Chains A and B, each alone.
Chain A
Amino acid sequence: MSAGPLLTVDDLSISYGSRLLVNGVSFALDGGESLALVGESGSGKSLTARAIADLLPAGVSATGRVLIEGAPVRRPRRRGRGDSPRVGLLMQDPFTMLNPTMTAGGHIAETLRAAGRPRAEIPAEVSRRLAEVGITDASVARRYPFELSGGMSQRVALAAALANDPALLLADEPTTALDATTQHEVLELLRQVQRDRGMGLVFITHDLRVAFDLCHRVVVMYAGSIMEEAPARIMRRDPLHPYTRGLLESIPSTDHYQGNLRGIPGSVPATHTVLDRCPFADRCDERVDACTHVVPPLVEVAAHHRAACIRIGELVSTTTATSVGSARVTDHVGDEVVVRVSDLRKSYRVHGGVHPALDGVTFDLRQGEALGIVGESGSGKTTIARCLLGLTSPTDGSIEFAGFGVVPAQRTAQDRRAVAQIVQCVFQDPYSTLNPMHSVGTALGEALSQRSRPVTDRDHEIASLLDRVGLPASMATRRPASLSGGQRQRVAIARALAVEPRVLLCDEPVAALDVSVQAQILELLREVNRSQGTSLLFITHDLGVVRQITERVLVLYRGEVVEQGATDVVLDAPTHDYTQRLVAAMPSTHVAQEA
């Protein structure tokens, strides 16, 4: 190995036309070391990775220097045969990363050939490379991407990315699209491969917990700039920058109930709007006047620990509130059963066979209660939601609502209207759930007209709905395109509340939001649940969210409820094998755990 670092990024700036997206980022990485680039959307972490691989999208340009083993990265188009790139790239979505018309083995074989391997060695080498990523079933090599699960695809992609033995692997959120248990497996695999090969790893993630678990060092980015950089051990124990601290506090704890979920108010600004100031100033509790007109330099505050905050010397290290547990409040839960689901079954016909999506699910939801439904993709949790909302008809079993009775399997238009006044839904993606042509006020007004109680003063009611979800009344004239993701999700919640439903069905309502915004929305949902006694049915894969929002939880596995009970009991002492795996797969928020 050559002397000096494996990767040097020196004053890297990236822009799209005249718009700056990444603002002078510098860091270095040694061979065999792993570094996490952590940030929310718009932080520039993915673009930084693409710039390192010299694979920026068309129209996006970079200035500054990127050196691999002391030499500039060369564009792939000028590379000769057998002269392999030293940088590999693994992307987020395993379903779009592989060529749909090529077999799994084909991807690895073509990379080996491009790296100059003799043809005769290739078949044996392909099986060896598949074995390296934990695939021993020889038939996988002959399968096409659409025949592989997400986790399997990601393993194949990793084998293909490693086929030309890069010195540095860039992994851009490679586990975000996977189920919790699969996510855990792929992370372990990455850790093992990185260690065995002594390869450099730049791991891009929005999740600080994963970064701490996997990497030696962590770089926190915000709006195109580096906020803080430190060894994972040190940052986990002693985060210095207010943004890093805010981010850590925003993560809903999986270990214990938090009485107050602290998000970071506001949302991430665009890089080019905060060039003359600390990008985080507007959302920072520690802000002083100078923060809004001085760019804080990234300075070394301790050995190997850099931070960009002009107040860094004054801010004392504080124990974060996350380590303190609180008692759960349950006095808003009543006795009345609002929803009763009995032996619900739903099966789909596939390839001539019958696939049961739900296999006899039974539960009650009481007034004011927050019930979580946890499970991986394909467990049937979304099917339950669709059955309740009447988007699909159950094959068997019954659904009963308070004040309505048992819902017929085939709902009439009248049934639908009545049910819509009892159950409303908040969906995952706030970007597609609002009609882009309607102003916020129009959307809310439309929802109000569905309410059973007559609307007296429309504008006043819209203003008070917006107020309930923490938005100013002036928001009513805006269109969804001008709102941030968190604001849109607030509007979606206000729209659901407009009909005064007894049950709010939330299908992964924070999964598409930035970490710092998630806590705000969760706190809002908690407030709705408590102050109005609206019952919550909360569908999620995130055990932290379950811990914070729900009193009771159902664990769904392959269409069956395998475990249920009080949230704290189920998460602290899971009894079913699947629940145990799920709990074990969650990265811990415990600060003191690693010392």
Chain B
Amino acid sequence: MTFAAYALRRVVAIVATIALLSLLVFALLALTPGDPAITLLGPQNATPEAVAAIRERYGLGDPFLVQYGNWAVAALQGDFGDSIRSSEPVMSVITSRLWTTVWLALYAFIITVVVAIPLGILAAVRRGSWIDRLASSITLIALCTPAFAIGFLLIYVFSVQLDWFPGFGNGDGFFDTIWHLTLPALALATLQIPILLRQTRAAVMDVVDRDYIVFARSRGLSRSRIWLRYVLRNGSLPVLTSAGLILAFSLAGAVLIENVFALQGLGSLLVSSVGTLDLPVVQALALLTAILVLVTNLVIDLLYYALDPRLRRAGAAA
């Protein structure tokens, strides 16, 4: 099977998964206790006329599957209805916040990769040395410190005391945004670094003890070749998996971090929307998160396919 065929098969599987998930997401409305019309309007707006209007608009009298069909068709066109709190269309509420979170996630991910992978490799190669012990200590401390505590600590040191970075807000324009996002990204990366560092250390340790490394050295291959073509290539597969998971679950991390740093992103939007039972927004966010996770997984799978010949040949035989 060619790469394109493999990719196509995976995309079809993802579309099917999303369709199934959308059904569950839509069912949230029916599962919420009380009259769906009142849920959609919010109790304070539920005048009899408004209730009648919303019933009419969403077809709440129709059978469940018809309702779902109408919702799904609208959702495909980017229409998730109106936010209950702000009465704005859900899509515009989300897009206004999307980029903050995307930048935060990418920024944190880059910090994570740049710190965790080299440190993990070093720790694995110099097993038991001071650098390995340092890496283990960092991992342990970071793992058992709550995210909000790290956030407050960063704000106190770098914003209040040193005044290097702003402690809250989104900023305007590219550089200002980067400047504003530095502390939040650091806080988010602190959550992610231990996971990736441990994975990298374990993966490299597993590979450097293999016979094929000894065999490669015995044939006089250069150190750079052994590192790139042997250690990193074979160690990259498990690291890739956890890196993908970290990226996919950035949104979950963003929920806390955005609240600590008063950022107007998807994480803080999710918290406030759940708090006010703003169901259309919650539905859209849930679906968006699912798509994010699935697409990240797809990218990882395709990378795996390119990196691991066993997978390529297994695909070819199937």
Contacts and interface: CB of A to CB of B under 8 A. Distances in A.
Contact of A102 (B217, B229, B313): B229
Counting contact residues on chain B (CB < 8 A from A), the size range is: 20 to 34
Interface in A63-95: 76-77, 79, 81, 83-85, 87-89, 91, 93
A114 B219 contact: yes
A99 B212 contact: yes
Given A101-B309, A144-B313, A351-B318, A114 B222 contact: yes
Contacts of B310: 100, 144, 146
Interface in B221-270: 221-223, 225, 229-230, 233-234
A445 B212 CA distance: 44
B215 interface: yes
Contact of B212 (A53, A96, A163): A96
Contact of A164 (B214, B220, B225, B318): B220
A97 B212 contact: yes
B211 interface: yes
A101 B222 contact: no
Contact of B217 (A55, A164, A351): A55
B317 to A, nearest CB: 5
B211 A96 contact: yes
Contacts of B212: 96-100
Residue of B209, B215, B225 most packed against chain A (CB within 10 A): B215
A121 interface: no
B236 to A, nearest CB: 9
B85 interface: no
Interface residues of A, number: 39
A325 to B, nearest CB: 42
A111 interface: yes
Interface string B95-137: 0000000000000000000000000000000010000000000
A55 B308 contact: no
A160 B221 CA distance: 11
B218 A99 contact: no
Contacts of B229: 99, 102, 110
Nearest to A56: B214
Interface in B162-176: none
A160 B219 contact: yes
B219 A99 contact: no
Contact of A84 (B127, B215, B220): B220
Contact of A85 (B209, B218, B307, B309): B218
25 contacts: A55-B214, A57-B209, A58-B127, A84-B220, A89-B215, A96-B211, A97-B212, A98-B215, A99-B212, A99-B230, A99-B234, A101-B308, A102-B229, A110-B219, A110-B221, A110-B225, A110-B229, A114-B221, A114-B222, A114-B225, A115-B220, A144-B310, A157-B215, A163-B219, A164-B219
Given A91-B214, A93-B211, 5 more contacts: A76-B220, A85-B219, A87-B218, A114-B222, A164-B220
Interface of A: 50, 53, 55, 57-58, 76-77, 79, 81, 83-85, 87-89, 91, 93, 96-103, 110-111, 114-115, 144, 146-147, 157, 160-161, 163-164, 351-352
The 3 A-B pairs of least Cβ separation, nearest first, read A89-B218, A96-B211, A85-B220
